[in-house]
Amino acid sequence: MDNTPFVRQPLDKRCVGWTIFNDLETTIDIQALAASLIPAAAGNTDPFWNGAARDVFTGILSSLWRDNYRSNRGIWNSLTAPIEEIAEMIHGVAGGEATVTTAGTRMVSW
């Protein structure tokens, strides 16, 4: 048996070639993943924020899926991009741009 350790740091060039996209077969899988990582708000919290985060995450992964840029680097670059780039990226993805615009407005008034 080979005792070589696996590097699982996605931004390390020595990393094993796994990405979440390896486990996604359809855009419905993207929605299910987002729902499992960002569940609905519990209790008296405002449901908008969890829903908005889920919509943006779904939009980003859907955009990467559509553009065949299915890599950990693509996810990282997208999640850390300026809000204007995220809005452009998820434009055309159901609920995406509206969520970014509404979130910006709500943050200003918060």
In tens, the pLDDT along 46-91 reads: 888 888 889 889 999 999 999 999 998 899 999 999 988 888 888 7
Alpha-carbon span 63 to 85, nearest angstrom: 12
pTM: 0.75
| Domains and their CATH numbers in the chain | 20-109 (1.10.8)
Half-sphere exposure of 101 (CA within 13 A, CB side): 7
**CA-based torsion, 95, 26, 36, 75: positive or negative:** negative
Which residue did the predictor score with more confidence, 16 or 110?
A: 16
Q: How far is CA 26 from the centre of its chain?
A: 15
